[in-house]
Amino acid sequence: MEDKPYSSLKPSLDRLTLGVIRILETSPGVDEVMFVEKEPAERHSIVSWEQKNSCVLPEDLKNFYLMSDGFHITWSVKFDDNPMPLGSMVINSISKLSRLGGSSAYALPSAPTLADLEDDMDKEGNEDQPEKPHFDSRSLIFELDPCNGNGKVCLVYKHTKPVVTPDTEIWFLDRALYWHFLTDTFTAYYRLLLTHLGLPQWQYAFTSYGVTPQAKQWFNMYKPITINTALLSEEPDSFVNKLDPNKVFKSKNKTPVIKKKLPAQPSGSQKSHASTTSSKTPSLSGNSLRKREPQT
């Protein structure tokens, strides 16, 4: 497992990323695009995970793990000749596809679990979204992406009784423990992940409160490759500076202006030339005066 630039990727891995790395490397200001190449997961590792968690992985996610045991792309932008990490695309490996809800929410004795905290949450669902997941035995929840601490993207099994069915959904759990529906299948989520370029807090574009103003600046600069442009539309009353990448990352080094100088003449020749001119001028005027004097 190692970080590799796009130029050294295999054609099969290029197809796996759907050409997103090529798009990033040609974007203004993007400095480093790194892909963590991972070996395919062993089939017995997948079977062991299914037996341990008493559920069957969806077929599309299982096929993904058989191609690559996880996914990780990061990219940076350059400010003052220093790279600043910006985008991140992550899918946990099969060994890190851990379950949420059963353990304590805090590292303290007798601390409440996520299921305990769920009782204080708003239970009213949105008519436009499916039934929300639960942290108790009604759902099985596994973490796909930690989202750099901004929340968690989760694989959710909602029908666990009498047996767990392989029908799953992808949900986003924000930092306030509210659920937001993303997609019905892992394949659809994988496309969302790539088309949003791993921009900071891109998952919040699918929430009712949207992304933060700071994240929206990056959205305006590196627009996600998405057909749902309504998610990125600006409200008429809101004011967000529109950043121009060509100006933001423009080099500050100014081209020096070369001024041409006339060749300097020796000071002695200038003085002799001036004295010669001044000496000739009175003599000429004297001769002309003499010619005009009347003869006696």
Q: For 90-141, how does the pLDDT look when each residue is reduced to its tens digit (9 = 90+)?
A: 999 999 999 987 554 445 555 566 665 565 454 545 556 678 898 888 889 9
Among residues 192, 254, 253, which one has the least CA distance to residue 226? 192
pLDDT of res. 289:
42
C-alpha to C-alpha distance for 132 and 70, rounded to whole angstroms:
26
- Where do the H-state alpha helices sit in the chain? 11-16, 20-25, 43-53, 59-67, 114-118, 186-195, 213-221, 245-248, 267-292
Report the C-alpha gap between 241 and 251 in whole angstroms. 21
Q: Alpha-carbon distance 244 to 114, whole Å? A: 43
Collapsed DSSP state (helix, strand, coil) of residue 31: strand
Alpha-carbon radius of gyration of the chain: 36
Judge whether residue 76 has pLDDT over 90.
Answer: yes
Q: What average pLDDT does the structure give for the chain?
A: 75
Q: Which residue has the tokens 């300097």?
A: 264
More confident residue, 258 or 180: 180
pTM: 0.70
Query: Hey, what amino acid is at 47?
Result: V
pLDDT band at 220 (very low <50, low <70, confident <90, very high): confident
The answer to whether 170 and 176 are in contact (CB under 8 A) is no
Least confident among 50-59, 184-193, 198-207, 262-271: 262-271
More confident residue, 290 or 46: 46
Q: What are phi and psi of 52, to 5 degrees?
A: -65, -40
Neighbours of 172 (CB within 10 A): 23
Crossing angle (nearest 10°) for helices 59-67 and 43-53: 140
